[in-house]
Amino acid sequence: MSKKSKHQPKPEQKAVYHISESEGSSKLANAVYEEELGRLQIELVKMQYWVKHTSTRIIILFEGRDAAGKGGTIKRITEPLNPRGCRVVALSMPSDREKTEWYFQRYVAHLPAAGEIVCFDRSWYNRAGVEHVMDFCTDAQYQEFMQTCPEFERMLVRSGIIVLKYWFSVSDDEQERRFQSRTLDPARRWKLSPMDLESRDRWVEFSQAKDNMFAHTNIPEAPWFTVEADDKKRARLNCISHVLSKIPYVDMTPEPLQLAPRKIAPEDYVRPPLNEQFFVPQIELEME
């Protein structure tokens, strides 16, 4: 196996995208954002080649307040990657049966195998956040989680899994602005769940829960990394760059291929007439 040299400089060394006070001020120009996102996504593809070749297992947890931008970042990470080796796990409410299981049990079923990357769009930290604040779990269950979660994550790390934990931090003013914009956008209105609306009234409680969660689970083996997310574009670039910096990948992208000429179909092969097929109608669009 011939390894190419490590990519230099690492993405986080090339550019750091400082966060503005609000998404509406000092926004990153679209051209700059798209160019840098494209560069980082190429690095993500290189990373996935290495992950598959080395049988590495990676877990990336995305946590944070509602409308903090977790989903958009996950989309930009997974967009260029082979879905056979990169999965997004976004679990719904546990069933009656799952409520009787060991708390981590249904998450264990989604852990990565060799050569896989798993992105958790919210994770077992539901218990430290929404379940605790909204009284969906008992205080005993909450205290048990705080004690066992670090042990659980240390077990994952000892088994050879790379665990990255990101908390997307958004100000209350910016979160409110995003909530209000969702009410006007029919394509995003589904994101305003009753739980989201309830969380608007419990800002302080969620802040306290997050601080307590960090105090108990910010361990050396799997530390928390905070992503300042008032500016979505900068947050995406910063997070992707940081992910790449934490994975010791090398560029194992295959060399360009020289394709052989296509084979000519046999002379006795006759394709069926087009009028025997059903085609999707062409919609009429006005050209500029």
Helix count and strand count (H, E) for the chain:
10, 5
Q: What are the structure tokens assigned to 26, written together?
A: 């000092």
Q: Letter for the amino acid at 141?
A: Q
pTM, to two decimals: 0.85
Q: Which pLDDT score is estimated for 185?
A: 78
- CA–CA separation, 99 and 122 (whole Å): 17
Q: Are strands 161-169 and 57-64 parallel, antiparallel or unpaired?
A: parallel
Q: Residue 100 gets which letter from DSSP?
A: G
Q: Are strands 224-228 and 57-64 parallel, antiparallel or unpaired?
A: unpaired
Chain centroid to Cα 192, Å, comes to 20
* DSSP-derived 3-state class of residue 220: coil
Question: What is the chain's pLDDT, residue by residue, as a tens digit (288 residues)?
Answer: 444 444 444 444 445 444 333 444 467 889 999 999 999 999 999 999 999 999 999 999 999 988 889 999 999 999 999 999 999 999 999 999 999 999 999 999 999 999 999 999 999 999 999 999 999 999 999 999 999 999 999 999 999 999 999 999 998 888 878 878 887 878 777 777 777 777 777 889 999 999 999 999 999 999 999 999 999 999 999 999 999 999 999 999 989 999 999 888 888 888 899 988 999 999 998 877
Q: In what order do the strands lie in the sheet with 116-121?
A: 86-89, 116-121, 57-64, 161-169, 224-228
Q: Are strands 57-64 and 86-89 parallel, antiparallel or unpaired?
A: unpaired
Tokens 């958004």 appear where? 170
Residue 275, Cβ density class (10 Å: 0-12 exposed, 13-18 middle, ≥19 buried)? exposed
190 Cβ contact list (under 8 Å, min separation 6): none
- CA–CA separation, 74 and 61 (whole Å): 10
Q: Residue 125 gets which letter from DSSP?
A: G
Sign of CA dihedral 70, 76, 79, 80: negative
Chain centroid to Cα 16, Å, comes to 19
- Single out the residue of 209, 201, 207, 87 nearest to residue 146, CA to CA: 209
Q: Which domains does the chain have, with CATH numbers?
A: 11-259 (3.40.50.300)
